[in-house]
Homo-oligomer: A and B are copies of this chain.
Amino acid sequence: MDIVIIGSGNVATHLATALNEHHNIVSVYSRTIKNAEILAGKINSKATDNLKELPSKADVYIISVKDDAVSRISEELPDLKGIIVHTAGSIPIDVLKKHPEHGVFYPFQTFSKNKALDFSSIPVLIEANNSETLQSLKDLASSITGKIYEVSSTQRLMLHISAVFACNFVNHFYFIAESILIKAGLPFELLLPLIDETAHKVHASSPSAVQTGPASRNDKNTVQKHLKILQNLGENDLAELYERISKEITELHHHKKK
């Protein structure tokens, strides 16, 4: 297929690179021409900072920009014959409705600009405004991954919320752990086997079945000891967060005993 990439951020870059293996990326747009040129240079494509100059006969136009810019870009696009999709978790399909064929092509992963990823294991979630467009998007997705899911805009939004907890907030907790280790004069690498095993465990078991730690055992002595240390370190906000989440875990794992 002939594909136009609109955007030059993390998702646009990873997606363009993966699609470029099997398709022809005919143009890359960014409102900053330099960013368009950087991505276009990587995949032997053309760069533009003018939406009106995009090729009019591509098969698919992929809008991969910040969530709050998707709607504006869609409106500014000229009338096009191809399929217009966006890649945003929290934006409904309807913002693209001015285009006869439109949909969503949401690769569900956390992307870092300078870190290569094996796209074949990344789920791609698709939605389309008609069955023909849906089939085209399935074909496109199947060229880069074996994991294709058809989900509605509402499901996608809820999935996005779940990802905020399982990825963004989890990473924030890694950060909190690191900040405590720095105060203890210990290296973060100490935590890596534990972090890996925690992620690994939920491949085979539901998270609630493998919950461990003082809160799940209702070990009040240890919880109180930890709270006191955090307070002594001047980390009152952390202590409050620790107490709150511990309470939730204890309630979840001890509700049967009440």
A residues near B (Cβ < 8 Å) are 10, 66-68, 90, 108-112, 115, 117, 121-123, 147, 149, 151, 154-155, 157-178, 180-181, 183-186, 188, 190-199, 201-208, 210-217, 219, 221-222, 225-226, 229-230, 237, 241-242, 244-246, 248-249, 252
8 tightest A-B CB contacts, nearest first: A168-B213, A158-B184, A166-B177, A162-B177, A175-B207, A174-B207, A199-B199, A162-B180
How far apart are the CA atoms of A206 and B208 in the complex, in Å?
28
The interface residues of chain B lying within 8 Å CB-to-CB of A226 are 90, 157, 160-161, 164
Assuming the contacts A66-B219, A68-B219, A123-B193, asked whether A245 and B169 have C-beta atoms less than 8 A apart, the reply is yes
The interface residues of chain B lying within 8 Å CB-to-CB of A149 are 186, 190
State which of B147, B154, B225 has its C-beta within 8 Å of the C-beta of A90. B225
How far apart are the CA atoms of A110 and B123 in the complex, in Å?
28
State which of B168, B215, B222 has its C-beta within 8 Å of the C-beta of A212. B168
How far apart are the CA atoms of A193 and B159 in the complex, in Å?
13
Q: Are A170 and B168 in contact (CB under 8 A)?
A: no
Assuming the contacts A172-B245, A175-B207, A206-B188, asked whether A221 and B68 have C-beta atoms less than 8 A apart, the reply is yes
How far apart are the CA atoms of A10 and B211 in the complex, in Å?
13
Q: Are B198 and A192 in contact (CB under 8 A)?
A: no
Q: Are A195 and B201 in contact (CB under 8 A)?
A: no
Q: Which of A160, A170, A207 has the most chain B CB within a 10 Å cutoff?
A: A170
A220 to chain B, nearest CB (A): 9
A88 to chain B, nearest CB (A): 9
State which of B121, B151, B163, B198 has its C-beta within 8 Å of the C-beta of A170. B198
Q: Are A162 and B175 in contact (CB under 8 A)?
A: no
Assuming the contacts A68-B221, A169-B245, asked whether A229 and B199 have C-beta atoms less than 8 A apart, the reply is no
19 inter-chain pairs at a CB distance below 8 angstroms, sorted by A residue, are A109-B194, A110-B212, A151-B186, A160-B226, A161-B229, A161-B242, A162-B180, A162-B191, A164-B213, A165-B174, A165-B176, A165-B177, A167-B212, A168-B212, A168-B213, A171-B201, A171-B212, A172-B211, A195-B202
